[in-house]
Structure 1
Amino acid sequence: MKLITSIYKSTKKDEMYLYVEKAKGLTAVPEKLLELFGTPVHVMDMLLREERPLARADVKRVMEEVQSKGFHLQMPPQKDEYLIELPDELLTMNDPL
């Protein structure tokens, strides 16, 4: 099975993406989801095939959801608990930590 999709990134959440069927666009995405997602920014169009894996998502699941719901929402990867986000000021300091 093959499916031509358009992929959009979120303006509100880093590494969050929406996959939709290219021919239908964002018409099937619920308004409430779009509010939480932010303004969709088109990243690329891609031909999905079951035998060609995606880096961060199960291609079969993506295709099934796009066909059944009209979209697939790819959430950002979870960060490990031990990772700490440092403030920008610390990252730009000249003194070694």
Structure 2
Amino acid sequence: MHAHVYKSLRKDDTYVYLAARDDFTRLPETLRTQLGGLQFVLEVALTPGRKLAREDVDVVRGNLALRGFHLQFPPASTLDPMSEDWGTDA
């Protein structure tokens, strides 16, 4: 299975994987509006067991088979800014 990956020009670090290149009709209208323009980034073979940087390949493959697209959101920030040592005595 191949995926065609696009980045959102409106939402930082948000990517859309499509089963068919430029088949934006698979995306709900509200999602297309929120993402704004999409710029092609790469085509990738999604073989079982393949490692992706932020996504589980089996989840991506399942979403592409079921919906025709997969949405990758920015990574959640796990850092608590209040836990940083700011170098103060406060």
TM-score scaled to structure 2, two decimals? 0.82
Given that 1:22 and 1:45 are in contact with CA atoms closer than 8 Å, whether structure 2 keeps it comes out as no
Segments of structure 2 that go 5 or more residues without pairing to the other structure are 83-90
Matched with 1:20 is 18
The percentage of aligned residue pairs carrying the same residue is 34
Q: 1:63 aligns with which of 61, 64, 71?
A: 61
Segments of structure 1 that go 5 or more residues without pairing to the other structure are 85-97
Deviating runs (4+, > 3 A) in structure 1? none
Q: 1: CA distance between counterparts of 2:41 and 2:21?
A: 16
> How far did 1:70 drift?
1.2
Q: 1: CA distance between counterparts of 2:21 and 2:14?
A: 21
Q: 2: CA distance between counterparts of 1:23 and 1:11?
A: 17
**Cα-Cα RMSD:** 1.7
Given that 2:20 and 2:68 are in contact with CA atoms closer than 8 Å, whether structure 1 keeps it comes out as no
Q: 1:44 aligns with which of 37, 42, 45?
A: 42
TM-score scaled to structure 1, two decimals? 0.76
Q: 2: CA distance between counterparts of 1:56 and 1:13?
A: 17
**Length, aligned pairs only:** 82
CA deviations 1:24-48 (Å, max 9, x no partner) are 7222111110000110111011111
